[in-house]
Chains A and B, each alone.
Chain A
């Protein structure tokens, strides 16, 4: 498997096949005398900001600290939760119970639901 080709930037699906963002980053763990091991998938704007430019990453992280955002670190999905890799990557999680959906839920509850005809 080619991590960058087959995993990074692919669509993530939760266990109900709901779209839960993309694989924004990959975390490898390096132990002494062992080949690097794929440990986590990262999801979230912070990871994307870091990929674009380290300084942008620092700025986003600092802003999140300042605004007491609940999500100060990127959300990590342990590799063990990955159930399948095809066109999309399926993970054994419920997107609604992860911080990945925090913004979606906030929008849904505070704005979209209040507009008639949204349901």
Chain B
């Protein structure tokens, strides 16, 4: 019984962790501009993150190391610095975009423009991290995050053609705007395969003292949680495809996004969209700030842990404090949250090999994972999707910058 409860809780928290500003907006943009054609990107991204999260949990449970600890130990400090710096920078930009997402949701409800909300949002998130414990944060925010299920309800209400969705499970060349199409594909992949997610997950597994008896729970949570999260992203794409595309609405501004639910549910649609965006992004703000503090603290061997009082982990607490407020500054000075979201998601995709290749090597190292090494299937799926994301990112980012 307790195992089932644990799995359910795990799924809820991973759904909460999966959905954030990147997955919502990139799926909405893709649906609005290309109908169902980018379905394959959502599915591939979802598949890849399912495998990576499962690996992160398995790695922590068997080796008793967080991913960061093991990366430094196995590859040495001189190599470790490269992913450390890169992932910290990418996390920082994504964090700013998530803060932007919460601010935009608040702008929808109050009419006060988003830069004014950045510092209050940062303060609220900081206060929760400062005063709260891991369980409260993770479970509380994730439970609220279930409001995003509204997207699935909306998509079902529209009765999308399953044959048409299925026909787009394989990439096809678009008839128009090819560079935009591939850029959005990169965005979706970057939004789904977020390194902070599996770094965070491996730290959580260590904090909860997982061992090999948790492997079944881990597999269920990773598969169902990330799978469910991807389904919601797919639902966003479906709604955008069926509501925005026929009217030629392209998502060029956040203000257009709530339309996707108001057409379906009227005023409640507006409320539900705003709540979904706000809560999903706020959850992501907490996770990314913590993930960045974990990364740095574990990298240098400082005391870390969300359950530690700040006085017991001064350097760790300083990192998340500094990161949250510094990222909020990007919103205060009025950087466009939508553009930042697209940019940071594409950047995530471009830097994926740095975060995943050392991880894959560790997953095949018997010194760490003993007999629980990766099988050929999981190795090849992750390598294939990461390679595809990386190549697409390297080709399309310059095109988008030149063209856009």
Contact = CB atoms under 8 A, between A and B. Distances in A.
**Do they bind each other?**
yes
Nearest to A109: B314
Nearest to B64: A87
Given A19-B302, A21-B300, A118-B310, A9 B73 contact: yes
Contacts of B315: 103-104, 107
A113 interface: yes
B212 to A, nearest CB: 14
A104 B302 contact: yes
Given A104-B315, A108-B314, A115 B130 contact: yes
Nearest to A95: B303
A11 B301 contact: yes
Nearest to A48: B77
Contacts of B131: 117
B307 to A, nearest CB: 14
A38 to B, nearest CB: 17
Interface string A52-76: 1000000000000000000000000
A21 B131 CA distance: 25
B302 A21 contact: yes
B336 interface: no
A35 interface: no
Contacts of B207: none
Nearest to B80: A9
B301 A104 contact: no
Contacts of B304: 19
A12 B309 contact: no
Contacts of B65: 87
Given A52-B81, A87-B64, A112 B303 contact: no
A4 B315 CA distance: 27
A12 B315 CA distance: 16
A19 B206 CA distance: 14
A46 interface: no
Interface residues of A, number: 29
B317 interface: yes
Nearest to B310: A118
B301 A20 contact: yes
A80 interface: no
Contacts of A12: 301
B311 A108 contact: yes
Contacts of A118: 130, 309-311, 317
A112 B302 contact: no
A3 interface: no
A8 B81 CA distance: 15
Contact of A112 (B64, B69, B300, B311): B311
Contact of A119 (B64, B76, B311, B367): B311
Given A51-B78, A108-B314, A117 B301 contact: no
B318 interface: yes
Contacts of B373: none
B311 A24 contact: no
Given A9-B76, A12-B301, A87-B65, A112 B310 contact: yes
A9 B72 contact: yes
Contacts of A105: 314
B241 to A, nearest CB: 47
B78 A22 contact: no
A10 interface: yes
A111 interface: yes
Contacts of B367: 5
Contacts of A4: 76
B78 A107 contact: no
29 contacts: A8-B76, A9-B80, A10-B73, A11-B69, A11-B301, A19-B301, A19-B302, A20-B301, A21-B300, A22-B72, A24-B77, A48-B77, A52-B78, A52-B81, A87-B64, A87-B65, A104-B303, A107-B318, A108-B311, A108-B314, A111-B314, A112-B318, A113-B311, A115-B310, A117-B130, A117-B131, A118-B311, A119-B309, A119-B310
Interface of A: 4-5, 8-12, 18-22, 24, 48, 51-52, 87, 103-105, 107-108, 111-113, 115, 117-119
State the 9 A-B residue pairs at the shortest beta-carbon distance, nearest first: A22-B301, A21-B301, A107-B314, A108-B314, A118-B310, A19-B303, A112-B314, A9-B73, A87-B64
